[in-house]
């Protein structure tokens, strides 16, 4: 453990600021993906193990659009929309058949989709790392210096965009009729159905929204890292940890947990550079011991 | 012509049959009691009409339109209003949000039951409108469940044991509410075991036993007919 380096960082304003900014960037990107996973679980009752594969698809789609059109905004948007369409086909064609099936069958279906998509992208785009699509030109400027801490403006943009999306998601779920229907469908879909609401449409819409968030996360990730088959696996594990820490189905909980994990990764990289994944699991175990239903989950 | 016409339905829970060639006719603007012992099949009748349980044969017509084969939500849209035995309010939504969830997406221009009319009919709920439904008492939840279904402007209300588990004073409130609804011409079928309650709110009754309808007539008649009551209702 690099205790000295860690203490040195904690006594330096610039280190704290740059690690906090880095942690927020990781955390907010994670939130985009994890919120989709938790939303889908809350309403459909399915742990979508293919969520990471959808994230990967978002990265490939945006890479393709970027390399065809050269337009960054368009590539991120079309990446997310493309994944939404794939998500819709997956939910309508396959997933809806296993809502009442055993957990094992659901996992098997999702996992087979992961394998198929992982191979499919290799068939289409090859098995080598594709280089990142890069950040848009307006952000290709010298970094900001805050109290000597180096902060890339693009990271601030990602944090800002994710924060806006988090607020939008919160408004959607609490202030709109759609959000009220979604929350009711998570609790008692049969009653909602008996009130004349088509819950099949609600489930499909929620899955599309979840896929959009995964795709958007992947598209943004393609701007700061390379794109490769299987890149969704680690984000799936992290999103799952976030979902468990925050409370299964709780979007607010996922927000809190994402920031905690982002910070743990960022500061953990200094304190225990070889054990950053371990820190994440330790936090999860700790939360499960102290609050078995997660930070903001219900006691069901 | 009757508003709701159920003819020879056979309904099942998975493979076990609960309703056997059950038939019912409900005419418009009436309050009718559906009586029967524990396990006679009252709730199952409602669940068959709403589509919650599987009906293998027979016919269910509302206003002459066949509902068999339609999904639960499309039957509700056609005008079946269901208030379940255990109320099933959405506990994490406020009273007003629960009522809004009862509004259907397909209601065209006319909804007889806008919020204003709901508050007029349920003044108690108006005072509680920002309260979470999970925090209401049993009687308040019963009121809310009825109000929520009315918000969808149903043709007929299927009320499953509205007096169950409520204190006598609250049951009186429910009686008053049903009288109020009768005056404005709502059609209601009430499943009940409480004969006393039915005497107060309904004029006609249907008795079911072992998944079949076995008797129908006026409540007054039934009150005099000790033999029928002993045969089908006595415990
Ligand atoms: N989910 C179910 N699965 C299997 N059988 C069921 C189920 N629900 C009810 N039944 C059976 O169907 C029969 C009719 O039950 P139902 O609930 O319709 O009676 P009820 O008249 O509403 O009775 P109560 O007055 O107790 O509410 C009973 O024999 C009951 O055991
Ligand atoms: Mg019953």
Buried (b) or exposed (e) across B175-204, using 16+ Cβ within 10 A?
eebbeebbeeebbbbbbbbbeebbebbbeb
Please give the pLDDT value at position B106. Answer: 67
Enumerate residues lining ligand 1, CB below 6 A.
B 13, 16, 18, 36, 38-44, 193
Is the interface score ipTM higher than 0.90? yes
The answer to whether B81 and B150 are in contact (CB under 8 A) is: yes
Q: Which among B39, B37, B46, B35 is positioned nearest to B11, based on CA atoms?
A: B46
Please give the average per-residue pLDDT across A265-293, as a whole number: 88
The residue ranges of every structural domain in chain A are: 3-136+144-290
Protein residue closest via CA to atom 17 of ligand 1: B43
Q: Which among A267, A244, A243, A246 is positioned nearest to A256, based on CA atoms?
A: A246
> How close is the Cα of B160 to the center of ligand 2, in Å?
7
Q: A184 vs B84: CB contact, 8 Å cut-off?
A: no
To test the pocket of ligand 1, the residue of B34, B35, B42 to mutate (highest count of ligand atoms within 8 Å of its CB) is: B42
Choose the closest CB to B149 out of A177, A195, A197.
A195
Please report which confidence band the pLDDT of residue B235 belongs to, taking 50, 70 and 90 as the band edges: low
The sheet that has B54-62: what strands, in order across it? B16-26, B4-13, B54-62, B65-66
Two tokens, residue A280: 């994440």
List all residues of chain A from 169 to 228 with a beta carbon under 8 Å from chain B. 177, 180-181, 183-184, 187-188, 190-199
Give the architecture-level CATH label for domain A3-136+144-290: Orthogonal Bundle (1.10)
Adjacent-strand bridge partners of A227: A130
The C-alpha of A194 sits at a distance from chain B's nearest C-alpha, in angstroms, of 6
Residue B105 has pLDDT above 80, yes or no: no
Please give the pLDDT value at position B111. Answer: 61
Choose the closest CB to B152 out of A180, A187, A196.
A196
Please give the pLDDT value at position B43. Answer: 95
Q: B90 vs A191: CB contact, 8 Å cut-off?
A: yes
Q: Touching check for B76 and chain A: CB below 8 Å?
A: yes
CA distance A43 to B139: 29
Residue B165 has pLDDT above 90, yes or no: no
Q: Which range (A11-15, A99-103, B72-76, B129-133) has the least confidence?
A: A11-15
Two tokens, residue B195: 């004969």
Which chain B residues are Cβ-neighbours of A195 within 8 angstroms? 73, 76, 101-102, 104, 148-149, 152
Protein residue closest via CA to atom 26 of ligand 1: B38
Two tokens, residue B138: 């049993």
B209 alpha carbon, distance to own chain's centre: 18
Residue B107 has pLDDT above 80, yes or no: no
Residue A300 has pLDDT above 60, yes or no: no
CA distance A25 to A193: 40
pLDDT per position as a tens digit, A173-215? 999 999 999 999 999 999 999 999 999 999 999 999 999 999 9
Residue A146 has pLDDT above 80, yes or no: no
Substitution target in A195, A252, A300 with the highest count of B β-carbons within 10 Å is: A195
Which chain B residues are Cβ-neighbours of A197 within 8 angstroms? 73, 101, 104-105
Please give the pLDDT value at position A181. Answer: 96
Please give the average per-residue pLDDT across A22-27, as a whole number: 93
* Predicted TM-score (pTM) of this structure: 0.90
Domains annotated for chain B, with CATH where assigned, are 2-232 (3.40.50.300)
């Amino acid at each position: 453990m690099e205790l000295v380096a860690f203490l040195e960082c904690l006594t330096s304003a610039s280190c704290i600021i740059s690690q906090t900014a880095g942690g927020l960037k990781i955390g907010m990107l994670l939130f985009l993906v994890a919120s989709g996973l938790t939303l889908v679980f809350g309403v459909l009752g399915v742990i979508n193990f293919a969520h990471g594969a959808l994230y990967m698809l978002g990265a490939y789609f945006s890479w393709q659009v970027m390399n065809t059109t050269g337009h960054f905004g368009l590539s991120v948007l079309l990446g997310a929309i493309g994944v939404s369409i794939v998500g819709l086909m997956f939910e309508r064609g396959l997933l809806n058949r296993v809502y009442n099936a055993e957990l094992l069958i659901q996992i098997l279906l999702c996992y087979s989709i992961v394998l198929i998509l992982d191979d499919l992208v290799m068939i289409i785009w090859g098995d080598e790392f594709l280089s990142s699509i890069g950040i848009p030109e307006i952000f290709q400027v010298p970094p900001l210096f805050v109290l000597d801490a180096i902060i890339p403006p693009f990271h601030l943009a990602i944090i800002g965009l994710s924060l806006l999306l988090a607020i939008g998601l919160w408004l959607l779920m609490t202030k709109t009729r759609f959000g009220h229907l979604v929350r009711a469908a998570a609790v008692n879909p049969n009653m909602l159905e008996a009130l004349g609401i088509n819950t099949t449409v609600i489930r499909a819409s929620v899955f599309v929204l979840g896929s959009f968030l995964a795709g958007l996360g992947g598209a943004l990730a393609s701007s700061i890292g390379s794109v490769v088959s299987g890149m969704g696996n680690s984000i799936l594990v992290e999103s799952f940890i976030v979902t468990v820490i925050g409370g299964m189905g709780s979007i607010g909980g996922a927000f809190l947990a994402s920031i905690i994990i982002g910070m743990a990764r960022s500061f953990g990289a200094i304190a225990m550079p070889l054990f950053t994944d371990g820190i994440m699991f330790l936090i999860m175990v700790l939360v499960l011991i102290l609050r078995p239903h997660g930070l903001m989950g219900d006691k069901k | 012509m009757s508003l709701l016409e159920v003819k020879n339905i056979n309904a099942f829970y998975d493979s076990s049959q609960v309703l056997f060639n059950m038939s019912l006719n409900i005419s418009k603007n009436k309050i009718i009691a559906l009586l029967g012992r524990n396990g006679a099949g009252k709730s199952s009748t409602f669940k068959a009409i709403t589509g919650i349980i599987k009906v293998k044969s027979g016919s269910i017509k509302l206003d002459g339109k066949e509902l068999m084969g339609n999904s639960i939500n499309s039957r509700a849209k056609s005008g079946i209003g269901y208030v379940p035995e255990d109320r099933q309010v959405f506990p994490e939504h406020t009273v007003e949000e629960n009522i809004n969830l009862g509004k259907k997406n397909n209601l065209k221009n006319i909804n007889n039951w806008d919020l204003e009319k709901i508050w007029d009919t349920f003044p108690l709920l108006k005072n509680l409108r920002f309260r979470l439904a999970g925090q209401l008492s049993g009687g308040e939840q019963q009121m809310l469940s009825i109000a929520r279904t009315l918000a969808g402007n149903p043709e007929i209300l299927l009320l499953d044991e509205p007096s169950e588990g409520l204190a006598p004073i609250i049951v009186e409130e429910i009686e008053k509410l049903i009288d109020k609804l009768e005056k404005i011409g709502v059609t209601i079928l009430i499943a009940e075991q409480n004969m006393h309650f039915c005497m107060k709110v309904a004029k006609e009754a249907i008795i079911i036993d072992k998944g079949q309808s076995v008797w129908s007539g006026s409540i007054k008649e039934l009150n005099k007919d000790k033999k029928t009551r002993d045969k089908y209702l006595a415990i």
